[in-house]
Amino acid sequence: MAREDNGEGLRRITVSMPEETFQSLDRLVNERGFDSRSQAIAEMIHQQAAEHLGKIGTEVMAGALTLVYDESKSTLLRDLSRICREHVAEVISSQHVLLEDEHVMEVLLMQGPARTLREIANKLVTCKGVKRAHLTLTPHLIPPLHAKRLTD
């Protein structure tokens, strides 16, 4: 049951869990360097809420899509570029790193409706030669890149 606000904008709850889960939580807190269990739990809830909102699809979100692909596939680079160009309003930037054996890791930074970002990720992952794809979404948005200044 939630208790009243403590005056710092924080709410207190009580959570019960099996001993094994509690031990896993403590390991996570220590290994990741959280200040407290509360901070770790709040971060996990935040991530799950962002993931849930992303599944709904109407929320505007920022995202990072990590791809690993084999660049030796004949049409792969052209296909990836075509998809990114089709979504130039959502795909903000990309960076790629050359890996061993003609593999590349590419990270695309995107922003837009979660449903659209998932569609882009799905189109990219189905290209022949893409080995892995992982989309991470957050409700925190990237500030406008080219906002018109009112003072100019």
User: Do 39 and 89 belong together in one domain?
Assistant: no
User: Do 70 and 131 belong together in one domain?
Assistant: yes
User: Do 65 and 134 belong together in one domain?
Assistant: yes
Q: Is the pTM higher than 0.75?
A: no
CA 127-49-25 angle, to 5 degrees, is 100
User: Do 86 and 28 belong together in one domain?
Assistant: no
User: Do 71 and 93 belong together in one domain?
Assistant: yes
φ/ψ (deg, to 5) at 66 = -100, 125
Alpha-carbon distance of 93 to 71, in angstroms, equals: 19
- How do the pLDDT tens digits run along the chain, 152 residues long? 444 555 578 888 898 999 999 999 999 899 989 999 999 898 888 777 777 766 666 788 899 999 999 999 989 999 999 999 999 999 999 999 999 999 999 999 999 998 999 999 999 999 999 999 999 988 888 887 665 555 55
Residue 49 lies in domain: 19-56
User: Do 97 and 32 belong together in one domain?
Assistant: no
Q: What is the CATH number of the domain that holds 134?
A: 3.30.70.1150
Alpha-carbon distance of 103 to 70, in angstroms, equals: 4
Number of domains in the chain: 2
Alpha-carbon distance of 142 to 108, in angstroms, equals: 14
User: Do 38 and 68 belong together in one domain?
Assistant: no
Alpha-carbon distance of 99 to 68, in angstroms, equals: 9
User: Do 27 and 68 belong together in one domain?
Assistant: no
Cα distances from 150 to residues 142, 143, 147, in angstroms, run 20, 16, 9
User: Do 130 and 87 belong together in one domain?
Assistant: yes
